[in-house]
């Protein structure tokens, strides 16, 4: 099981303090912690907390870098719960992982839970006993699901290495079960040479074989979990058409969690790290429209004032759960830690962590 062994409560009055005063207090606490702490910031976090990040990146990179910071016994994760779990799984001896708001979750990760996955696996293996199914889970999933794929011969993947993971899984077995993101799975299937209609979609809300026809299931190479990111599914092909009408020379780059028609209509798709790199590489004066979280797109626009970078849907809301970590919460967290009080630590039980580590190590071995 996953637990939060120490839970604190931010004093209400912190929310009433002016931002500049909070910022000064947070920096004072950060200086007091020194090398004992490393602060990891995910790309989708608010600028007000990203200012304090020692390392920025995607969830897996951050978990790795946190573990590599062996001088630090406190790993403060500016992200969401599944990221903190992965950081714990990879953490070194004596490292504590802290999440400033334990309510920071992920809609996509919550589209699959261990109970529905176990039920689906039981139905699948009974319905197609002669096929070897390799389970893959996206990094955006709980530690229990990472442990499940580790124990059942599968692996974890990120949006950046999903193609490599799919090719490995297809070479290892007869079919791939991918969860929890249907759209990343569909887009990756196309990348590895499958047709857009090749995968069947398993709906965990359907009691009988996920709503999949038994004959179609028997023939399927790819079984996609019906799950989605509520930010990336807010982008549409019509928005891309509007961007091209406004500027025929615009470069459209989207995240592969977007639905297949959006990815097909875009010029490029890739992980957050890919999007960041491409915005840096494109020449001065480029018009770039990006389909991903608003916080990242806004930061890229500030970092590259010589280019015209905007969000594909300028009215989109940033990820609500990702934005739960605020300056008042981070200030409270850092001051508590500097005062010797452990708050909001995230842990994973030993057996689950062991199998989750197996799945993560399999992913690393694919490199």
Q: Is 224 helix (H, G, I), strand (E, B) or coil?
A: strand
pLDDT of residue 5: 55
- The DSSP line for 274-293 is HHHHHHHHSPTT-EEEEES-
User: What span, in angstroms and rounded, lies between the C-alpha atoms of 331 and 279?
Assistant: 32
Reported residue count of the chain is 367
Please choose, from the candidates 144, 217, 215, 149, the residue with its C-alpha nearest in 3D space to the C-alpha of residue 178.
149
Cβ contact 325:334 at 8 Å: no
- For residues 18 and 53, membership in a common domain is answered with yes
109-118 confidence digits (pLDDT tens): 999 999 999 9
pLDDT of residue 60: 83
Which tokens is 187 given? 């887009």
pLDDT of residue 3: 54
Backbone phi, then psi, for 164, in 5-degree steps? -65, -40
Q: Contacts from 245-250 at CB under 8 Å and sequence distance 24+?
A: 247/287, 249/287, 250/287, 250/288, 250/289
- For residues 260 and 331, membership in a common domain is answered with no
- For residues 225 and 236, membership in a common domain is answered with no
- For residues 59 and 114, membership in a common domain is answered with no
pLDDT of residue 15: 78
Count Cβ neighbours within 10 Å for each residue of 76-104 and write b for 16 or more, e otherwise: bbbbbbbbbbbbbbbbeeebbbbbbbbeb
**364 falls within a domain:** no
- For residues 238 and 306, membership in a common domain is answered with yes
Please choose, from the candidates 196, 144, 143, 136, the residue with its C-alpha nearest in 3D space to the C-alpha of residue 164.
136
Which tokens is 348 given? 């994973």
- For residues 275 and 220, membership in a common domain is answered with no
113-170 confidence digits (pLDDT tens): 999 999 999 999 999 999 999 999 999 999 999 999 999 999 999 999 999 999 999 9
Q: Contacts from 23-30 at CB under 8 Å and sequence distance 24+?
A: 23/48, 23/51, 23/327, 25/331, 25/335, 26/52, 26/327, 26/330, 26/331, 26/334, 26/335, 27/52, 29/331, 29/334, 29/335, 29/337, 29/338, 30/334
**361 falls within a domain:** no
Count of structural domains, the chain: 3
- pLDDT digits (tens), the chain, 367 positions: 455 556 667 777 777 888 999 999 999 999 999 999 999 999 999 999 999 999 998 888 888 888 888 899 999 999 999 999 999 999 999 999 999 999 999 999 999 999 999 999 999 999 999 999 999 999 999 999 999 999 999 999 999 999 999 999 999 999 999 999 999 999 999 999 999 888 999 999 998 999 999 999 999 999 999 999 999 999 999 999 999 999 999 999 999 999 999 999 999 999 999 999 999 999 999 999 999 999 999 999 999 999 999 999 988 877 788 889 999 999 999 999 999 999 999 999 999 999 999 999 999 888 6
Q: Is the pTM of this model over 0.85?
A: yes
Q: Is 336 helix (H, G, I), strand (E, B) or coil?
A: helix
Q: Which of 182, 205, 229 is the last residue of a domain?
A: 229
* Burial class of residue 130, CB neighbours in 10 A (0-12, 13-18, 19+): exposed
- For residues 217 and 121, membership in a common domain is answered with yes
**360 falls within a domain:** no
Tell me the HSE value of 199 on the side-chain side, using a 13 A CA sphere: 30
User: What span, in angstroms and rounded, lies between the C-alpha atoms of 269 and 281?
Assistant: 15
**365 falls within a domain:** no
Identify the domain containing residue 281 by its residue range: 232-311
- For residues 86 and 149, membership in a common domain is answered with no
Strand locations in 69-227 (E) = 74-78, 96-98, 133-138, 155-157, 175-179, 200-202, 222-225
Please choose, from the candidates 204, 138, 136, 216, the residue with its C-alpha nearest in 3D space to the C-alpha of residue 173.
136
């Amino acid at each position: 099981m996953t637990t939060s062994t120490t839970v604190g409560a931010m004093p209400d009055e912190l929310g009433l303090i002016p931002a500049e005063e909070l910022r000064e207090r947070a920096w004072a606490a950060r200086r007091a912690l020194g090398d004992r702490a490393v602060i990891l910031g995910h790309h989708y976090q608010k600028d007000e907390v990203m200012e304090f990040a020692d390392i920025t990146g995607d969830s897996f990179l951050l978990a790795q870098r946190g573990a590599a910071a062996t001088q630090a016994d406190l790993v403060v994760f500016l992200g969401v719960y599944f990221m903190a779990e992965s950081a714990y799984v990879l953490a070194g001896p004596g490292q504590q992982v802290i999440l400033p708001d334990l309510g920071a979750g992920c809609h996509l990760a919550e589209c699959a839970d261990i109970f529905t996955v176990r039920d689906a696996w039981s139905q699948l293996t009974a319905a197609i006993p002669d096929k070897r199914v390799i389970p893959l889970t996206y990094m955006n999933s709980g530690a229990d699901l990472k442990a499940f794929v580790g124990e059942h011969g599968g692996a974890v993947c990120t949006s950046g290495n999903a193609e490599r993971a799919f090719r490995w899984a297809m070479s290892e077995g007869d079919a791939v079960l991918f969860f929890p993101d249907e759209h990343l799975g569909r887009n990756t299937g196309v990348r590895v040479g499958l047709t857009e209609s090749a995968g069947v979609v398993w709906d965990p809300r359907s009691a009988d074989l996920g709503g999949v026809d038994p004959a179609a299931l028997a023939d399927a190479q790819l079984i996609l979990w019906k799950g989605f990111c509520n930010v990336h599914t807010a982008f549409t092909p019509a928005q891309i058409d509007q961007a091209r009408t406004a500027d025929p020379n615009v470069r459209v780059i989207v995240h592969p969690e977007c639905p297949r028609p959006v990815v097909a209509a875009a010029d490029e798709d890739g992980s957050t790290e890919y999007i960041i790199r491409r915005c840096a590489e494109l020449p001065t004066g480029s018009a770039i429209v990006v389909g991903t979280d608003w916080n990242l797109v806004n930061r890229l626009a500030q970092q590259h004032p010589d280019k015209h970078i905007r969000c594909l849907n300028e009215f989109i809301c940033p990820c609500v759960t990702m934005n739960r970590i605020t300056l008042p919460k981070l200030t409270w967290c850092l001051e508590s830690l500097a005062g010797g009080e452990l708050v909001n630590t995230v842990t994973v039980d030993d057996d689950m962590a062991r199998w989750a580590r197996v799945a993560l190590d399999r992913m690393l071995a694919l490199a």
